[in-house]
């Protein structure tokens, strides 16, 4: 088969960008009609309290107000609750404790920003006027913002606020190996709470379809099928036929747009109850106080090693804050997600993890780019640096001594993960060379001449591909339009699915990508789909579309044999055309669809278990007078398996690195410990990375095929979000250690914190 110029491996730009830069994107908030009602949520101003009464009459009398719905109305209509899809089993075999999340609460509130009532009005102005008149009398029962706090009790089902006590690995063997190790290093790392803060907030439009007794929900999401399931089954107790969920263009997801929220269910309920279309667009402040946060965790870890620096055992004890309720994938973050990267790229013989989680009166926690891995990667890579320092080994050398070797692949970790291949030593060597590790001393001298302290950090990095594999793909060749339509169950939130999947199909079918239309985001058009998460879209949808294209070719070969009056085995397929072998008799894909479209459907049949890996290197300058950390160099070498599009791959890598920078140097969602109020509830107080916070981002790739899927691909969209924080952490501590300061700092590395550490000498 001739390789297409715009097929796999071609560095084309995103075809989506043309409509985006022309302002022709189709986002949910663009779908306004004159008939739409406006939804506005009245939110809790108390972090934890008992609802004593509500005063709504004045608000209901405001002209233009159509309805004000509360928890009492939700209970009367038999609404359910939202539950997690990632339950955890305790170490003793018992189940974790789940407090179900109400659509609107009847008796108690559990975090500032929790929706208490939904105002539906003819205009947003009327809704806001009414909101000023709504009054909830709430008895303040005291806030809990720290994991491990047992009082006050937030949910009756969890009398000590604990959710689970989970473990994995051989705890006894690991403890014995740690005790017998010639050397150990330990670390306590507090990972701060951060927010997703995508460019587009959550947007919901629900429209009744009276003729069919159903509702069409359009929402900015990372996957329509999970949202459909949660709303129908858990929140509203509807048959699935009663709801259609659609997603158009999405302005950034990063995890928080994957999950079901009370607001989505409430808007659907209101539209159904009123038989009027209802829309809601979250403000930035609402996003901060109601959209899932990520990563508040304290990790205690010990690494044992021998006199040669060979790692013997790793022991981890994590204390996680999961917020007021368990979000869709929340419990998986400090458990399975963390365990998947606990070995890193190293041949570690023994590992044991214990992870405990608690409810707090804060916004619920869930997956955000990296999804539970960054705290573990930072912890492991700090321990590796500390082990090297204890033995006088350079950071690159102690890593080299412990890397899994290529001839040991596939490698199984002590926690049961199977690495799917790669050449870890080659990745390390490539990073040291391409990112100029050896040139550091010259750059350090230049910094010193300017009165700055320079440090460098390195991190071996891994992010196993995740994602839901309930995928169906369809491909239809339509002669009437001269185009091919492909439907997939993942959802682009900026990754370029329309481009990547068209390239994959173009390569397989031997036709131009320009005639392929990739569709997504409609539960009516595709019966199954796992959505986009865990850097899995290329593996899940790309592999399934590849198999669907193969099925199109198989069906087409049978049709071609009939059309050309020959045996199926005499038909060959090349460049979109079926030919009788050894003759000039041929018929194209589109010719075979002239009477009936040529269509095929396939289910996901590969494995999602690929382990992309790489090395990140960072260099920082620190001003000793102010403690200001300036990131001067940052780059990575990653193995993404088969590269579908190097341009888009580089963009994904750079974006992940940039988010990793924000997560370690700048971002911090801070709650007041007494009131439970979010103190960083706007972009005036929550510091996102800007262009001048970032150096040029150097991204490089080392390509080895994965054996777990038909494409040989590994998704790397979250690699930098794991590796950049670890490399930058090591670079900051390299500065401190060169000054004789052995303190371990917690992120974010603010000037005040670094300045105090430098003065601690």
Residue 191 φ/ψ, nearest 5 degrees: -95, 125
Report whether 331 contacts 293 (CB < 8 A).
no
Cis peptide before 410 (omega within 30 of 0): yes
Are the beta carbons of 341 and 373 closer than 8 angstroms? yes
- HEC assignment per residue over 574-634: ECCEEEECCCCCEEEHHHHCCCCCEEEEEECCCCCCCCCEEEEEEEEEECCCCCCEEEEEE
Rounded Cα–Cα distance for residues 598 and 553 (Å) = 9
pLDDT at 2 over 60: no
392 pLDDT higher than 90: yes
Structure confidence at residue 271 (pLDDT): 98
- Give the architecture (CATH level 2) of 418-463+609-761: 2-Layer Sandwich (3.30)
The CATH code of the domain at 145-192+295-404 is: 3.30.365.10
- In CATH, 17-26+467-603 is 3.40.50.300: no
pLDDT at residue 761 in the model: 78
Please state the rounded mean pLDDT for residues 478-487. 97
Cα separation, 700 vs 738, whole angstroms = 29
Average pLDDT over residues 593-598: 95
What are the backbone angles phi and psi of residue 2, rounded to the nearest 5°? -70, 135
Integer Rg of the chain from CA: 27
Q: How far is CA 499 from CA 3, 23, 45, 295, 590, in A?
A: 17, 19, 45, 32, 21
**For residues 317 and 319, what is the distance between their CA atoms, to the nearest angstrom?**
7
Greatest CA span in the chain, whole angstroms? 88
Q: Kindly give, in sequence order, each residue whose CB lies less than 8 Å from that of residue 60, ignoring residues fewer than 6 positions away.
A: 68, 130
How do residues 680-733 score in pLDDT, each as one tens digit? Answer: 999 999 999 999 999 999 999 999 999 999 999 999 999 999 999 999 999 999
How far apart, in whole angstroms, are the C-alpha atoms of residue 14 and residue 496?
A: 6
* 171-185 pLDDT, tens digit each: 999 999 999 999 999
Task: Answer yes or no: is pLDDT of 1 > 70.
Answer: no
- What is the band of 5 on the pLDDT scale with cuts at 50, 70, 90? confident
Query: Can you give the pLDDT at residue 581?
Result: 97
SS3 of residue 456 by DSSP: strand
Tokens representing 324?
Answer: 């007021």
Tell me what pLDDT residue 134 has. Answer: 98
CA atoms within 13 A on the CB side of 355: 27
Q: What is the mean pLDDT of residues 131-148?
A: 98
Predicted confidence (pLDDT) at residue 4 exceeds the cutoff of 90:
no
**Residue 438 CB neighbours (<10 A):** 9
**Burial category of 604 from C-beta neighbours within 10 Å (exposed 0-12, middle 13-18, buried 19 and up):** buried
Average pLDDT for residues 66-89, to the nearest whole number?
A: 98
Q: Torsion angle, CA of 321/326/332/338, rounded to 10 degrees?
A: -10
- Which residues are bridge partners to 671 per DSSP? 678
DSSP line for 682-749: STTTS----GGG---EEEEE-----SSSTT-B---TTHHHHHHHHHHHHHHHHHHHHTT--PPPPSS-
Which run of H or of E encompasses 138?
A: strand 135-140
Q: Tell me which DSSP letter residue 568 carries.
A: G
CA distance 167 to 91: 5
DSSP 233-281: IIIS---GGGEEEE--B-S--SSTTSS--HHHHHHHHHHHHHTS-EEEE
Specify whether the CB–CB gap between 313 and 304 falls below 8 A: yes
Architecture category of domain 31-143+199-290 in CATH: Alpha-Beta Complex (3.90)
The helix/strand/coil state of 692 is helix
Residues 403-427 pLDDT 10s: 999 999 999 999 999 999 999 999 9
Listed by start position, the domains of the chain span 17-26+467-603, 31-143+199-290, 145-192+295-404, 418-463+609-761
Ranges of beta strands (E only) in 375-452 are 411-412, 418-419
Do domains 31-143+199-290 and 418-463+609-761 share one topology? The answer is no
């Amino acid at each position: 088969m001739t390789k297409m110029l715009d097929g796999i491996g071609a560095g084309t730009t995103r075809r989506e960008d043309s409509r985006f830069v022309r302002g022709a994107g189709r986002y949910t908030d663009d779908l306004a009609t004159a008939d739409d009602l406006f939804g506005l949520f009245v939110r809790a101003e108390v972090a934890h309290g008992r609802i004593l009464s509500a005063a709504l009459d004045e608000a209901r009398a405001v002209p233009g107000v159509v309805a004000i719905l509360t928890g009492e109305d939700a209970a009367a209509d038999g609404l359910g609750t939202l539950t997690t899809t990632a339950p955890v089993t305790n170490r003793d075999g018992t189940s974790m404790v789940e407090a179900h999340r109400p659509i609107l609460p009847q008796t108690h509130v559990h975090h500032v920003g929790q929706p208490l009532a939904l105002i539906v009005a003819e205009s947003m102005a009327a809704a806001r006027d009414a909101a000023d008149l709504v009054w909830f009398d709430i008895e303040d029962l005291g806030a809990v913002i720290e994991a491990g706090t047992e009082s006050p009790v937030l949910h009756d089902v969890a009398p000590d606020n604990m959710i689970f006590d989970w473990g994995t690995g051989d705890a006894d063997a690991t403890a014995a190996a740690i005790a017998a190790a010639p050397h150990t290093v330990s670390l306590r790392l507090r990972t701060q709470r951060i927010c997703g803060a995508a460019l587009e907030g959550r947007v919901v439009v629900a429209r009744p379809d009276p003729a069919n007794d159903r509702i069409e929900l359009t929402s900015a999401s990372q996957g329509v099928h999970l949202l459909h399931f949660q709303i129908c089954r858990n929140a509203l107790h509807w048959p699935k036929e009663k709801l259609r969920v659609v997603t158009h263009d999405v302005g950034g997801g990063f995890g928080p747009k994957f999950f079901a929220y009370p607001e989505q269910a409430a808007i659907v309920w209101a539209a159904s109850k009123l038989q009027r279309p209802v829309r809601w667009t979250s403000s930035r402040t609402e996003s901060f106080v109601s959209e899932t946060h990520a990563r508040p965790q304290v990790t205690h870890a010990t690494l044992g090693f021998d006199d040669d620096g060979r790692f013997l055992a790793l022991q981890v004890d994590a204390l996680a804050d999961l917020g007021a309720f368990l979000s869709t994938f929340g419990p998986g973050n400090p458990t399975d997600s963390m365990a998947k990267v606990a070995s890193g790229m190293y041949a570690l013989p023994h590992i044991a993890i214990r992870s405990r989680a608690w409810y707090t009166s804060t916004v619920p926690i869930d997956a955000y780019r990296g999804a539970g891995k960054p705290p573990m990667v930072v912890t492991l890579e700090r321990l590796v640096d500390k082990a090297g320092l204890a033995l006088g080994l350079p950071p690159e050398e102690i890593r080299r001594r412990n890397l899994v070797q290529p001839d040991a692949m596939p490698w199984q970790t002590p926690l049961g993960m199977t690495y799917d291949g790669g050449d870890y030593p080659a990745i390390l060597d490539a990073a040291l060379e391409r990112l100029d590790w050896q040139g550091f001393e010259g750059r350090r001298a230049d910094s010193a001449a300017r009165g700055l302290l320079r440090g460098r950090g390195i991190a071996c990095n891994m992010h196993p591909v995740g994602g839901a594999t309930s995928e169906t793909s369809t491909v239809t060749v339509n002669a009437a339009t001269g185009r091919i339509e492909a439907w997939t169950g993942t959802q682009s939130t900026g990754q370029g699915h329309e481009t990547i999947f068209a390239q994959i199909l173009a390569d397989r079918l031997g036709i131009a990508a320009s005639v392929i239309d990739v569709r997504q985001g409609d539960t009516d058009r595709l019966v199954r789909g796992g959505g986009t998460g865990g850097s899995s879209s290329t593996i899940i949808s790309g592999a399934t579309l590849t198999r669907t294209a193969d099925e199109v070719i198989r069906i087409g070969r049978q049709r071609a044999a009939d059309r050309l009056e020959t045996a199926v085995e005499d038909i060959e397929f090349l460049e979109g055309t079926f030919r009788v072998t050894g003759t000039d008799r041929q018929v194209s894909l589109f010719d075979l669809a002239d009477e009936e479209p040529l269509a095929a459907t396939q289910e996901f049949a590969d494995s999602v278990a690929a382990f992309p890996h790489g090395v990140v290197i960072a260099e920082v300058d620190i001003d000793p007078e102010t403690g200001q950390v300036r990131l001067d160099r940052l780059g990575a070498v990653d193995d993404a398996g088969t590269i579908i599009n190097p341009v888009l791959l580089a963009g994904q890598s750079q974006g992940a690195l940039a988010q990793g920078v924000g997560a370690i140097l700048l971002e911090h969602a801070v709650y007041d410990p007494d009131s439970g109020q979010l103190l960083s509830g706007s972009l005036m107080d929550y510091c996102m990375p800007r262009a001048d916070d970032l150096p040029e981002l150097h991204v490089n790739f080392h390509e080895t095929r994965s054996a777990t899927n038909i494409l040989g691909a590994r998704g790397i969209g979250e690699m930098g979000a794991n590796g950049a924080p670890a490399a930058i952490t090591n670079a900051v501590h390299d500065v401190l250690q060169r000054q004789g300061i052995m303190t371990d700092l917690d992120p974010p590395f603010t000037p005040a914190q670094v300045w105090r550490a430098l003065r601690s000498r």
